[in-house]
Chains A and B, each alone.
Chain A
Amino acid sequence: MTGARERLAAQQSALLHALLAGGPAPAGFDEAALRVEADALLAKRRRVVATITPETAQACGAEFAALFAEYARANPRRAGSRAREDAAAFTAFIAARERRWWRRR
């Protein structure tokens, strides 16, 4: 069972890293299906964050989806993390981005 768990862990880890963290597509998967799945997982995560912190989503306006995609790629959700922590981290990501923008002016 140890060997089975290790091999399954490697397969599942490679799939999640491809879908969530920009990792290479694992062999044998349909690349179009991987893109559809990655987009669906991103959209679900975005909806959850928008529900928890609607004020941040509203402040992003039309850029919300693009900004969230940028945040999510750089910060895939860690196992054991909570949706509230994800929403707070996205709000901090947006705040840090705005500070950089003001400094550059």
Chain B
Amino acid sequence: MGGMGELGIGIGWRSEIDLTVERLPGVDFVEVVAENLHRDHLPDSIAVLRERGTPVLPHAVSLSLGGADPVDMDRVEHLAAVARLTDAPLVSDHVCFVRAGGLDSGHLMPVPRTREALDVLVANVLAAQSVLEVPLALENIAALLSWPDAELTEARFLTELTERTGCGLLIDVANMWANARNLGEDPEALLDGLPLERLAYVHVAGGVVRDGVYHDTHAHPVPQEVLDLLGLLCDRVSPPGVLLERDDHYPSDSALAAELEAIRAVVRR
């Protein structure tokens, strides 16, 4: 398995494709959305995968670690419980907020890249880590808008976050591609500026262009440009794992297998 780390190639487990994930060839690990699991029992399909020894990584979407409010510790406790249940080597969430002013955005929102926002994020991450029993990795998100008055580049912001909290990085190359396309960010400058020795694993996903805007839908095929960006990442570091996220409009098993194979080909080359 030249060029591939300890996790290998994985796919996001979803209840709609549970049997597919079980029988797909070449699935070395899976990820589960932590909020979709009960804290005291696993879905049968996840139990099957665990019995086989397939690593299961809980991925949270609701901690709102970049939010102004102190972390909701019940949500962190849930993530910790799911990690125990799956015997997970690590857990993850995003560099984002989802709640503010009494409202829930329903999707991952970017945080302002200011010193103050970074201080709040670091405090929230440290609070979450005090409850979690396994390492926490944080993911860069796709944003459709930019906050004004950024004081730090995304690379600097994420680097300081990892230095001050010891968290790992979950690098989503599809999100990097989306920000390059929609916000004019430079993905190679971001790759060059990130502490890649902190890389936990990588996300790859598909999307679609609507009205000139690239939407990271997780419901369309992975564009070649995203695979190319994965290649640029692999030129710099051998990723411990690469995981395909697909959340809707599920294609045939063979189409999913082909996407996993395409990812494997990039990592191996």
Contact = CB atoms under 8 A, between A and B. Distances in A.
Contacts of B144: 33, 36-37, 40
A12 interface: yes
Contacts of B103: 13, 16-17, 20-21, 76-79
Interface stretch (B25-33, B83-91, B94-102, B133-141): B94-102
Given A4-B120, A19-B105, A33-B144, 18 more contacts: A5-B120, A6-B68, A9-B100, A12-B111, A16-B101, A16-B103, A16-B109, A28-B147, A28-B148, A29-B148, A30-B146, A33-B146, A36-B145, A40-B144, A76-B103, A77-B106, A78-B102, A79-B102
Secondary structure of the A side of the interface? helix
B239 interface: no
B107 A33 contact: no
Contact of A81 (B68, B104, B117, B215): B104
Interface string A1-39: 100111111011111110111000001111001101100
Given A41-B107, A78-B103, A1 B145 contact: no
A80 interface: yes
Nearest to B97: A12
A48 interface: yes
A34 B145 contact: yes
A44 interface: yes
A98 to B, nearest CB: 26
B116 A7 contact: yes
Given A15-B100, A15-B109, A77-B103, A8 B120 contact: yes
Contacts of A77: 103-106
B119 interface: yes
Given A11-B112, A12-B68, A80 B105 contact: no
A79 B104 contact: yes
A38 to B, nearest CB: 9
Interface of B: 67-70, 97, 99-107, 109, 111-112, 116-117, 119-120, 123, 144-149, 211, 213, 215, 248
Interface residues of A, number: 37
Contacts of A15: 100, 109
Contacts of B109: 12, 15-16
B148 A40 contact: no
3 tightest A-B contacts by CB? Answer: A13-B101, A28-B148, A12-B100
Interface string A46-86: 01100000000000000000000000000011111100000
B123 A1 contact: yes
A33 B120 CA distance: 25
Contacts of A5: 68-70, 120
22 contacts: A1-B119, A1-B123, A4-B120, A5-B68, A5-B69, A5-B120, A8-B112, A8-B120, A9-B100, A11-B147, A12-B68, A12-B97, A16-B109, A27-B148, A29-B147, A34-B145, A37-B145, A41-B105, A48-B106, A77-B105, A77-B106, A78-B103
A44 B68 contact: no
A90 B2 CA distance: 52
Given A9-B68, A9-B69, A20 B119 contact: no
Contact of A8 (B68, B107, B146): B68
A76 B99 CA distance: 12
A39 to B, nearest CB: 9
Contacts of A34: 145
